[in-house]
Chain A
């Protein structure tokens, strides 16, 4: 049996674009033909589920029943990659829960791949989160994601302060999510489809859509840059031990129909 990979996407601060990053990851693995399932902890609404209804379930990650739903099925699920979109404020409690149920021990023993995408906001509070989170990330791949999608400027990050935090994390790797044209972002939101489906000009059910070519072009270009970052960190190889590696695809007009 191949080794399962769990990817936690989270931040303790809200509004930093966790779900957007989770969506790009789902698209990335879809394009790489890696069977992936996702859990949306934004109960009961579920933003991630709205975009990826077939691949995503809504869970309450603090409840034991839902923890069993996620972690007891890691080896039996068809999907080799599990993405958990952790809602604001729950990153640290989730990581604590993972420690308590022995998940982190399994990672340490090499039975599981564990990847953390810690989405950072522009505030100092985000930098403080790093220290708390890093304590649980010893045996994981830990990525610090600077998300510029909403044109965030990390103005509060004095260079020296920034460096002092990042020095503490010798294994953490920084990822940059570039800005996406606002109108393009808004149109994908309205369409409620994965980014790839929008680029392919398809509706939620695989039917033909009539999205603007310009906006599709902006999304394709942006998604290509995001995936460029994932290729840079060799994300595909990181999960490859749990599935057959695939060639890096380019963002193109292929739907999920």
Chain B
């Protein structure tokens, strides 16, 4: 059985494109008819849950009940791909709970692979948060370069957790086009299927990002194959998470 990934879209900074990336992931897996469930951990403004009310649950993890609602559900459903949109105010709290309850080890024991998609930016605090996350939690971490947030990306500041993690790049969109994709009714998958009048900037943008997701899935698959063949080098779940 293939491990069902748990994508955790995270950054300690607000307004860097977390919900956009979570939206893209949901539409990518939805368009591939994958069993899918999302969790919106933005208690004040659940934009992802509002956009996908049948797929995404808003959860407030500041209390134990909310944590049970999230983590108990995550481990109960081993078949679905999960996407978590982690609000920046809860970044530290979320990973602290994950570490304390041993979530990464339990997820892996149940053949699920948590993958943190960390949206990078050049702020020193973000780099520190990334380094801390890497040192404190043995989890697959994939840096994401959102060109709308920063044009420059120093790969050495955000090393992936292994050779399979690589990098996800979200190309910059023009401001007008950005307005289009932010419309509440806009769907990436549906738009990609419509090619009336030839590919547009949005078509290319969506296609490029979806390709990045396919590459990531492939890299993760290869990582698992290498691991099973004893060529994986390291798997970072050996230490306590």
Residues of A within 8 A of B (CB): 181-184, 212-218, 220-221
A-B pairs with beta carbons under 8 Å apart, 26 shown: A183-B64, A183-B68, A212-B68, A212-B72, A213-B71, A213-B72, A213-B75, A213-B106, A214-B67, A214-B68, A214-B71, A214-B72, A214-B97, A215-B68, A216-B101, A217-B71, A217-B101, A217-B102, A217-B106, A218-B64, A218-B100, A218-B101, A220-B101, A221-B100, A221-B101, A221-B102
Could you tell me the distance in whole angstroms from the C-beta of A58 to the nearest C-beta in chain B?
A: 33
Could you tell me the distance in whole angstroms from the C-beta of A151 to the nearest C-beta in chain B?
A: 14
| B65 A183 Cβ-Cβ under 8 A | yes
Say which residue of A182, A212, A213, A217 sits within 8 Å of B100 (CB atoms): A217
Could you tell me the distance in whole angstroms from the C-beta of A5 to the nearest C-beta in chain B?
A: 30
In the complex, residue of chain A having the shortest beta-carbon distance to the beta carbon of B99: A221
Could you tell me the distance in whole angstroms from the C-beta of A206 to the nearest C-beta in chain B?
A: 21
Separation of A181 and B63 alpha carbons in the complex (Å): 10
Separation of A213 and B106 alpha carbons in the complex (Å): 9
Interface check B103, CB cutoff 8 A: yes
Separation of A213 and B68 alpha carbons in the complex (Å): 7
Task: List 4 A-B pairs, minimum CB-CB distance, nearest first.
Answer: A217-B101, A183-B64, A214-B68, A221-B100
Beyond A212-B72, A221-B100, 7 additional contacts (C-beta under 8 Å) are A183-B68, A214-B64, A214-B68, A214-B97, A217-B101, A218-B100, A218-B101
What class of interface size applies to chain B in its complex with A? Answer: 10 to 19
Separation of A214 and B106 alpha carbons in the complex (Å): 11
What chain A residues lie within 8 Å of B106 (beta carbons)?
A: 213, 217
Separation of A182 and B67 alpha carbons in the complex (Å): 13
Which of chain B's residues 93-120 have a Cβ closer than 8 Å to chain A? 97, 100-103, 106
| CB < 8 Å A-B pair total | 37
| A181 B102 Cβ-Cβ under 8 A | no
Could you tell me the distance in whole angstroms from the C-beta of A212 to the nearest C-beta in chain B?
A: 5
What chain A residues lie within 8 Å of B64 (beta carbons)?
A: 181-184, 214-215, 218
Separation of A215 and B67 alpha carbons in the complex (Å): 9
Could you tell me the distance in whole angstroms from the C-beta of B65 to the nearest C-beta in chain A?
A: 7
Separation of A216 and B72 alpha carbons in the complex (Å): 10
| B101 A213 Cβ-Cβ under 8 A | yes
Separation of A35 and B102 alpha carbons in the complex (Å): 29
Separation of A95 and B65 alpha carbons in the complex (Å): 44
Separation of A221 and B68 alpha carbons in the complex (Å): 16
In the complex, residue of chain B having the shortest beta-carbon distance to the beta carbon of A220: B102
Could you tell me the distance in whole angstroms from the C-beta of B202 to the nearest C-beta in chain A?
A: 40
| B103 A217 Cβ-Cβ under 8 A | yes
Separation of A117 and B213 alpha carbons in the complex (Å): 57
Separation of A181 and B67 alpha carbons in the complex (Å): 12
What chain B residues lie within 8 Å of A215 (beta carbons)?
A: 64, 68
In the complex, residue of chain A having the shortest beta-carbon distance to the beta carbon of B66: A214
What chain B residues lie within 8 Å of A183 (beta carbons)?
A: 64-65, 68
- Kindly name the residue among A182, A214, A217, A221 whose own CB sees the greatest number of chain B CB atoms within 10 A: A214
What chain B residues lie within 8 Å of A213 (beta carbons)?
A: 71-72, 75, 101, 106
In the complex, residue of chain A having the shortest beta-carbon distance to the beta carbon of B64: A183
Separation of A183 and B64 alpha carbons in the complex (Å): 7
What chain A residues lie within 8 Å of B71 (beta carbons)?
A: 213-214, 217
Separation of A49 and B67 alpha carbons in the complex (Å): 32
Separation of A184 and B67 alpha carbons in the complex (Å): 12
In the complex, residue of chain A having the shortest beta-carbon distance to the beta carbon of B75: A213
Could you tell me the distance in whole angstroms from the C-beta of B67 to the nearest C-beta in chain A?
A: 5
In the complex, residue of chain A having the shortest beta-carbon distance to the beta carbon of B103: A217
Which of chain B's residues 52-80 have a Cβ closer than 8 Å to chain A? 64-65, 67-68, 71-72, 75
Could you tell me the distance in whole angstroms from the C-beta of B214 to the nearest C-beta in chain A?
A: 31
What chain A residues lie within 8 Å of B68 (beta carbons)?
A: 183, 212, 214-215
Separation of A13 and B75 alpha carbons in the complex (Å): 42
Could you tell me the distance in whole angstroms from the C-beta of A82 to the nearest C-beta in chain B?
A: 33
In the complex, residue of chain A having the shortest beta-carbon distance to the beta carbon of B110: A213
Could you tell me the distance in whole angstroms from the C-beta of A157 to the nearest C-beta in chain B?
A: 27
What chain B residues lie within 8 Å of A216 (beta carbons)?
A: 101
What chain B residues lie within 8 Å of A214 (beta carbons)?
A: 64, 67-68, 71-72, 97, 101
In the complex, residue of chain A having the shortest beta-carbon distance to the beta carbon of B107: A213
Which of chain B's residues 142-187 have a Cβ closer than 8 Å to chain A? none
Separation of A221 and B64 alpha carbons in the complex (Å): 15
In the complex, residue of chain A having the shortest beta-carbon distance to the beta carbon of B76: A213
Hey, what's the 0/1 contact readout for B83-101 against A, CB within 8 Å counting as 1?
Answer: 0000000000000010011
